[in-house]
C-alpha cells in the first residue's frame, strides 16, 4: 500500500505472520515498514511473541558440536524505530528495543552448562531494554522486493537498568545492502549484503550476544545455519544472492545464495574462523502491484540443513 503519491512515497507493508518450525518452536510475528506521505516519516517495527527453545554452543568462531546444550525459553521482542526525513534518501531518528526471555531452562548439557559457564549470570527472566539512535540511507523504493538501489543503517543501542534492563551495555549494528539489475528486461537481480554487529561496552546477557540468525534488522540472514550456532561479542557477515525470473510475467522465480560469517574470538575483535552457507530457493508471485513473493528456500552449511519460508524477499 502507498500512503501518499506513488512518485514521492515508498510502498508500505504490514505483516502479521504465525511462526513455527513444525516441531517445538511457535509464535506470532508483527512487522511493519510504514512510509508517511512524501516519505516525511518512516515507522519500522518488529514485534514477536514466541516459544523458542534453541540449541546454544560455546563462544567464539569455532565452537564445537559437543559443546551444545538446549535452552528452552519463551521470548518477546518489541523493536520500534521512528525515522525523520533529512533529505531525499537519508533519515535519522530514535527507537526502543526490548528483548525479554522467560521460563528459561537449560537441558541436554553434553559438555558444560553454557549459561552457567558464562561470566554474566543468566537471570529468569532475562531482560535487555534500551534506546537506539539510528541513521539510515534508503534508496530502494520497494523494500518488499527491491529492483535496484541501496540500503544502509547504523544503529547504536544503549541498554539501561533505568529502563528495566538486567545490565547496562551498549552495542552497534551496521548493515549495508545493494541491488544490481543484471537483466532489466527479465527483472533479474544480484543482491549483496554485509553487516557488522558488536558489543561496545558493558556486560551482556548470554542470550543477547551477537549470534547467527539473530541480527537486529529487517530481513533474514544466515540461511543454512542453526539459530545461535555461532555467538560472541562481535560478528561479521556477508551474503550474495542472484534472483532470476523463470517466466516472462514473473510468476515463478529462482534464487541462488551464498553467505559467509565469522564470530570473533570471545572478548576480542579477532575474526579467525569463517563459516560458509549456501542454498537455492523458489519464488511465486503473490501480488503484482507490490511485487511480493512467496519464498521457499533450502539452505545448508557444515553438518546442518533446513528450509526457510517467508513472504517477501529475505533481504
Does position 272 have pLDDT exceeding 90, yes or no? yes
What is this structure's pTM?
A: 0.94
Whether 100 contacts 79, CB under 8 Å:
no
Q: How many whole angstroms separate alpha carbon 189 and alpha carbon 183?
A: 7
Whether 53 contacts 25, CB under 8 Å:
yes
Determine the pLDDT at residue 97.
Answer: 98
Does position 244 have pLDDT exceeding 90, yes or no? yes
Determine the pLDDT at residue 167.
Answer: 97
C-alpha cell at 100: 525479554
Determine the pLDDT at residue 118.
Answer: 96
Does position 263 have pLDDT exceeding 80, yes or no? yes
The H-assigned helical ranges of the chain are: 114-117
Q: How confident is the model at residue 6 (pLDDT cuts 50, 70, 90)?
A: confident
Does position 245 have pLDDT exceeding 90, yes or no? yes
The Cα-based distances of 204 to 71, 210, 219, 270, 285 in angstroms read: 17, 10, 24, 19, 41
Determine the pLDDT at residue 303.
Answer: 86
Nearest-10 Cα torsion for 305, 54, 264, 208: 140
Task: List the CATH code of the domain at 13-311.
Answer: 2.40.160.50
Q: How confident is the model at residue 61 (pLDDT cuts 50, 70, 90)?
A: very high
Least confident of 106-110, 194-198, 286-290, 298-302: 286-290
Region 13-23 average pLDDT: 87
Does position 24 have pLDDT exceeding 80, yes or no? yes
Does position 185 have pLDDT exceeding 90, yes or no? no
Determine the pLDDT at residue 67.
Answer: 92
Region 258-285 average pLDDT: 97
Determine the pLDDT at residue 177.
Answer: 98
Percent of the chain surpassing pLDDT 90:
85
Does position 1 have pLDDT exceeding 80, yes or no? no
Q: How many whole angstroms separate alpha carbon 252 and alpha carbon 203?
A: 47
Region 225-239 average pLDDT: 97
CA 50 from chain centre, in angstroms, equals 16
Amino acid at each position: 500500500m502507498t500512503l501518499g503519491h506513488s512518485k514521492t512515497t515508498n510502498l508500505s507493508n504490514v505483516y502479521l505472520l504465525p511462526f513455527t518450525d513444525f516441531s517445538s518452536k511457535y509464535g506470532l510475528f508483527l512487522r511493519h515498514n510504514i512510509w508517511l506521505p512524501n516519505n516525511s516519516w518512516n515507522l519500522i517495527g518488529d514485534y514477536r511473541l514466541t516459544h523458542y527453545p534453541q540449541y546454544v554452543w560455546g563462544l567464539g568462531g569455532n565452537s564445537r558440536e559437543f559443546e551444545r546444550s538446549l535452552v528452552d525459553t519463551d521470548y518477546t521482542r518489541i523493536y520500534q524505530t521512528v525515522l525523520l526525513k533529512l533529505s531525499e534518501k537519508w533519515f535519522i531518528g530514535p527507537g526502543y528495543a526490548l528483548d525479554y526471555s522467560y521460563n528459561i531452562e537449560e537441558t541436554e548439557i553434553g559438555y558444560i552448562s553454557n549459561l552457567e559457564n558464562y561470566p554474566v549470570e543468566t537471570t529468569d527472566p532475562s531482560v535487555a531494554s534500551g534506546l537506539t539512535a539510528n541513521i539510515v540511507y534508503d534508496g530502494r523504493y520497494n523494500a518488499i522486493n527491491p529492483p535496484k538501489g541501496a540500503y544502509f543503517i547504523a544503529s547504536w543501542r544503549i541498554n539501561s537498568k533505568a529502563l528495566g534492563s538486567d545490565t547496562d551495555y551498549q552495542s552497534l549494528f551496521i548493515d549495508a545492502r545493494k541491488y544490481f539489475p543484471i537483466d532489466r528486461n527479465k527483472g533479474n537481480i544480484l543482491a549483496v549484503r554485509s553487516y557488522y554487529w558488536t558489543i561496545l561496552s558493558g556486560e551482556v546477557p548470554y542470550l543477547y550476544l551477537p549470534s547467527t540468525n539473530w541480527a537486529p534488522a529487517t530481513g533474514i540472514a544466515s540461511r543454512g545455519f542453526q539459530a545461535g550456532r555461532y555467538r560472541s561479542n562481535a560478528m561479521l557477515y556477508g551474503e550474495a544472492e542472484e534472483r532470476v525470473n523463470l517466466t516472462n510475467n514473473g510468476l515463478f522465480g529462482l534464487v541462488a545464495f551464498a553467505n559467509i560469517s565469522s564470530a570473533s574470538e570471545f572478548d576480542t575483535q579477532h575474526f579467525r574462523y569463517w563459516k560458509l552457507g549456501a542454498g537455492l530457493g523458489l519464488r511465486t508471485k503473490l501480488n503484482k502491484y507490490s511485487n511480493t513473493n512467496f519464498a521457499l528456500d533450502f539452505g545448508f552449511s557444515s553438518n546442518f540443513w533446513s528450509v526457510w519460508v517467508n513472504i517477501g524477499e529475505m533481504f
